[in-house]
Chains A and B, each alone.
Chain A
């Protein structure tokens, strides 16, 4: 049958290098532990700083759901959205911010810093990342992250191995 097309986008090496540099500066200035970027569909893009001790795939999925649910809560209150979210724990805290309506920046921090400092440094980094991602999505408009036919063939073979041939 004719294969339907799914929308897709690609995250390139050069994007990663630029973003990683921005986030490393931010982590240093804010004395935060780890920064993660998650797309709104729940996929992990990048992790910078101390490697997380949790399952990043599950974390990304829950982060996207958390942010989306809070978006809807904002709308119920007559707000456009909540641009940031804060979850405070006894030792570990999370600060989340929207980037260009497509990506979520998640910052993990502990008692080595303060919420005030993280918030202060977040403003600048959100601006920088918004500019980078906006340019990236503009570049991607109308293009799909194509993979070649040999990739599809091999992936299908792997599916057969995983789920059995029918």
Chain B
């Protein structure tokens, strides 16, 4: 949960990168660390194994500077993707304000993506969080690989949407990030909401900032 600290005049928000192992979560953070000005970032902490797999988490604070008298920071975390690290994954979700799911676009990672998405829903539920009511975006990483699945296939699998029960939200809502697409629309008489998605090649930095900026803006709006 975001903390508005009136005593130290700070606002801190927590964003967690989630997804299957080797999907590119740490690569996202490393790119942000590499490209953001030194004055706008803190130390990048990686609790990783000797083979550079994330064991507990990666952590990078990004500083937006002082806005309306408040020093505003985003704390970026990744979780370990390997299935057997679930205990660690769950801990990192504590107090989360926004989630980025980093999916591996490769066709042979379909099952791993689905398993990680289900695991995200399960862990969020156990914390008492509702992923459909929290800032949440999906990144389709590794779009440059020859065996990358089509976006429509990934959408059908990982972003099928959920029914919108709230009458106030039952209105056609264009996707600001994908012209011609909609985040909320009526399908066969049922209002469905999907989450924003982004294509990326994280090793080259493509789509990394777009993804982070989108989830950050959703988190900021949720504070308003």
Which residues of A line the B interface, CB within 8 A?
Answer: 1-13, 15-16, 39-43, 45-46, 55, 57-58, 61-62, 64-65, 68-69, 72, 144-152, 154-156, 158-160, 162-164, 166
B7 within 8 A of A: yes
In the complex, chain A residues whose CB is within 8 Å of the CB of B219:
6
Minimal beta-carbon separation of A141 from chain B (angstroms): 12
B57 within 8 A of A: yes
Q: A147-B11, A151-B67 are in contact. Are A5 and B133 (CB under 8 A)?
A: yes
Beyond the given pairs A6-B135, A9-B4, A11-B4, 13 more chain A to chain B contacts, judged by CB atoms under 8 angstroms and listed by A's residue number, are A1-B173, A4-B222, A5-B134, A6-B219, A41-B94, A45-B8, A61-B45, A69-B56, A147-B223, A152-B223, A158-B64, A158-B67, A164-B209
State whether A1 touches B176 (Cβ < 8 A).
yes
Smallest CB-CB separation from A55: which chain B residue? Answer: B43
Pull 24 A–B residue pairs with CB atoms less than 8 Å apart, ordered by A: A1-B176, A4-B133, A5-B222, A6-B134, A9-B3, A10-B5, A11-B3, A41-B94, A42-B75, A42-B95, A45-B7, A57-B43, A57-B75, A61-B77, A148-B224, A152-B220, A152-B221, A152-B223, A154-B68, A158-B64, A158-B65, A159-B213, A163-B209, A163-B210
CA–CA, A17 and B68, complex, Å: 22
In the complex, chain A residues whose CB is within 8 Å of the CB of B168:
2
State whether B94 touches A43 (Cβ < 8 A).
no
State whether A151 touches B3 (Cβ < 8 A).
no
State whether A6 touches B4 (Cβ < 8 A).
no
State whether B97 touches A145 (Cβ < 8 A).
no
Q: A43-B12, A155-B67 are in contact. Are A10 and B6 (CB under 8 A)?
A: yes
Q: A11-B4, A62-B45, A68-B91 are in contact. Are A42 and B224 (CB under 8 A)?
A: no
From the candidates A4, A11, A57, A148, name the one contacting B6 in the complex (CB within 8 A).
A11
In the complex, chain B residues whose CB is within 8 Å of the CB of A45:
3, 5, 7-8
Minimal beta-carbon separation of A43 from chain B (angstroms): 5
In the complex, chain B residues whose CB is within 8 Å of the CB of A4:
132-136, 218, 222
State whether B64 touches A162 (Cβ < 8 A).
yes
In the complex, chain A residues whose CB is within 8 Å of the CB of B96:
41
CA–CA, A65 and B89, complex, Å: 11
B33 within 8 A of A: no
In the complex, chain B residues whose CB is within 8 Å of the CB of A15:
7
From the candidates A1, A154, A166, name the one contacting B213 in the complex (CB within 8 A).
A166
CA–CA, A160 and B213, complex, Å: 8
State whether B94 touches A147 (Cβ < 8 A).
no
Minimal beta-carbon separation of A71 from chain B (angstroms): 8
State whether A39 touches B224 (Cβ < 8 A).
no
Smallest CB-CB separation from B214: which chain A residue? Answer: A166
B169 within 8 A of A: yes
In the complex, chain A residues whose CB is within 8 Å of the CB of B73:
57
Query: 9 closest pairs, A vs B, by CB?
Result: A41-B95, A16-B7, A145-B4, A3-B221, A163-B209, A6-B222, A7-B1, A8-B2, A68-B91
Minimal beta-carbon separation of A133 from chain B (angstroms): 13
State whether A6 touches B1 (Cβ < 8 A).
yes
CA–CA, A128 and B212, complex, Å: 40
Minimal beta-carbon separation of A11 from chain B (angstroms): 5
From the candidates B64, B65, B91, name the one contacting A72 in the complex (CB within 8 A).
B91
CA–CA, A148 and B70, complex, Å: 12
Minimal beta-carbon separation of A73 from chain B (angstroms): 10
